[in-house]
Amino acid sequence: MNKIKSMKSNLTIINVLLVALLLAACSSDYLDINEDPNNPLIVSPELILPVAQSYSAFIQESYPSQNSLGNFFMYNWAESEGSVFYFAEFRYLATPSFYSQNFDYTYASALKQYNDLFKLEGDEFGYYRAISKIMIAYHFQILVDTYGDIPYFEALQRGDIPTPKYDQAELIYDDLIVQLTSAIKLINTTTSNSGINPLRPGVDDVMFGGDMELWKKFANTVKLRILIRLSDLQEKTEYIRNEFAVITAEGNGYMENDVEVQPGYFNEENKMNPKWTAFGKDPQGNNTFYTNATCATQFVIDFLTETQDPRIDFIYEKPPNGHLGVRQGETDYDNPIEDQWIAANVSNLGPGILKGPDQAAVLYTSAEIYLNQAEAVFKGLMPGDAKSLYEMGIQASFSYLGAGDASTYYSNSIDLVAWDASSNKLEAIITQKWIASNSIDALQSWFDYSRTGYPSNLPISAQATTADRPVRLAYPSSEITSNGENLPAQPNVFTDKIFWAQ
């Protein structure tokens, strides 16, 4: 980031924080009906957008967050000796209160703000409305993948429908594709409409700086994730191929870089990157509780070591005596050696993950983008070179972590590393997505595991009372109390898979 851009970003975050405080004071419940319709709060889109995007980053990277949930379920993270923070995660206590903020905060904060953008009247707001449609689709897909059926078609209509009905997950998925296609069309229509002077996002767009071509690419990239999630449903094959053809015909293709939110995070209280705030250091340079507590599992250390993966030193901090992980859910820390697994001795989160208080928040990794394309090509759903895309995905992971050139790694004749040496190409793709998402966007790896069963032989927590990890979350307590008349029966979180994994 150059100095001018950095200065603009710092000014943006000040605006973001001030406006966030004002908006938060108005309401924190997406079902709230206490707003006076005759005196609506009017906020310009330039102020709404960075607040919404900052909410997206917080949902993704804070603790507890989408990323932390994925890291515990995918056996990436354990706990050092002397820490007792992750009791519910290690026991898979997926009750209505477990990670319920992922549901509540997404609806009440991010989706509410994006919906406020969508409701802007006037063709001059076309770009902002298109961005809102894309980001609403981004968040709703994650909610479906986590919970299944959710409020969708009647959701976000706070004054009119305080208790929205639940919609079938598959119908929501179909409409997300429609909305993303519509968003791209809206951008094009706004650009070509000579009769208006459209309000164009700029520094207030803390994802793409108002570059609407990138927003079209991102819309296609969200479609890519949706279509890959559907790709094991044989009855959807023709539909998926047709939708990939629509993307090809549209012409912008997919994102080539990590999709990040950067409102100008810097080393000051309440202004740091949310992941750094949780797992890094405070503004005075002291480790947080979670920094000392969070470390690698021995399984992932062994896997990265055995496959000669240099990313191990970037995903995890290397202690003086070499990498050391902990069995997830370990309770007998004194066996065999007392103090063996204290924070100073184990592999905590590394320099490729915790880069600094000013690091951008990642919403969608370029590694996943390339590996999703590799899976689509491998399955015959779109044209291309699966091997090349696979290797580009690995390189993208290396680049994000600061691990350098990946060619030596993926040229090794090791199963699940080298394309040609891997007998199960799908397992290789999913395993590489698991590694690339570690500590960055691991929720996506959990969805892949529920869909495919890969990576193989993934252990479960030592404190688990079930044969495998959950495949979904329970509906949150807030819905039980505020929308109980529409709430479906609570699913069995260990066996009732999301529709795309049946």
Judging by beta carbons within 10 Å of its beta carbon (0-12, 13-18, 19+), is residue 342 exposed, middle or buried?
A: middle
- Asked if CATH classification 1.25.40.390 holds for the domain at 1-37+99-256, the reply, yes or no, is yes
What's the CA gap between 108 and 169, in Å, rounded? 20
What's the CA gap between 467 and 207, in Å, rounded? 40
Sign of CA dihedral 448, 449, 454, 460: positive
Tokens of 206: 């803390």
Tokens of 425: 């190409």
Q: What is the DSSP letter of 500?
A: G
Residue 238 parent element (H or E): helix 237-250
- Tens of pLDDT along 459-473? 999 999 999 999 999
285 DSSP β-pair partners: none
pLDDT over threshold 70, residue 1: no
pLDDT over threshold 60, residue 442: yes
- The answer to whether 355 touches 440, Cβ cutoff 8 Å, is no
- Tens of pLDDT along 356-392? 999 999 999 999 999 999 999 999 999 999 999 999 9
What's the CA gap between 9 and 361, in Å, rounded? 14
What's the CA gap between 78 and 86, in Å, rounded? 9
Q: Which fold has domain 65-95+266-359+366-470?
A: 1.25.40
Residue 374's nearest CA partner among 360, 354, 388 is 388
Tokens of 193: 């409409």
Tokens of 65: 């967050």
Judging by beta carbons within 10 Å of its beta carbon (0-12, 13-18, 19+), is residue 29 exposed, middle or buried?
A: middle
What's the CA gap between 169 and 140, in Å, rounded? 10
Tokens of 448: 């892949």
Judging by beta carbons within 10 Å of its beta carbon (0-12, 13-18, 19+), is residue 148 exposed, middle or buried?
A: buried
SS3 string, 470-495, reads: CCCCCCCHHHHHHCCCCCCCCCCCCC
- Tens of pLDDT along 141-170? 999 999 999 999 999 987 899 999 999 999
pLDDT at 338: 87
For residue 348, how many C-alpha atoms fall within 13 Å in the half-sphere facing its CB? 21
- The answer to whether 389 touches 371, Cβ cutoff 8 Å, is yes
What angle in degrees, to the nearest 10, is found between the helix axes of 169-192 and 212-229?
Answer: 160
pLDDT over threshold 90, residue 306: yes
The residue count for the chain: 502
Instruction: Please report, for residues 28, 30, 58, 468, the alpha-carbon distance to residue 48 in angstroms, rounded to integers and kept in the order given.
Output: 15, 16, 16, 41
The amino acid present at 375, given as its one-letter code, is E
What's the CA gap between 259 and 430, in Å, rounded? 20
- Tens of pLDDT along 396-427? 999 999 999 999 999 999 999 999 999 999 99
- The answer to whether 449 touches 471, Cβ cutoff 8 Å, is no
- The answer to whether 353 touches 439, Cβ cutoff 8 Å, is yes
pLDDT band at 42 (very low <50, low <70, confident <90, very high): low
- The answer to whether 398 touches 406, Cβ cutoff 8 Å, is yes
Residue 298's nearest CA partner among 265, 359, 340 is 340
Look up tokens 């496959």; give the residue.
307
pLDDT over threshold 80, residue 435: yes
pLDDT band at 282 (very low <50, low <70, confident <90, very high): very high
pLDDT at 496: 98
- The answer to whether 273 touches 358, Cβ cutoff 8 Å, is yes
Residue 498's CB is within 10 A of a number of other CB atoms, namely 22
| Start and end residues for every CATH 1.25.40.390 domain found in the chain | 1-37+99-256, 65-95+266-359+366-470
- Tens of pLDDT along 384-396? 999 999 999 999 9
Residue 25's CB is within 10 A of a number of other CB atoms, namely 8
Dmax (CA) for the chain in angstroms is 76
The amino acid present at 25, given as its one-letter code, is A
What is the average per-residue pLDDT within 230-247? 98
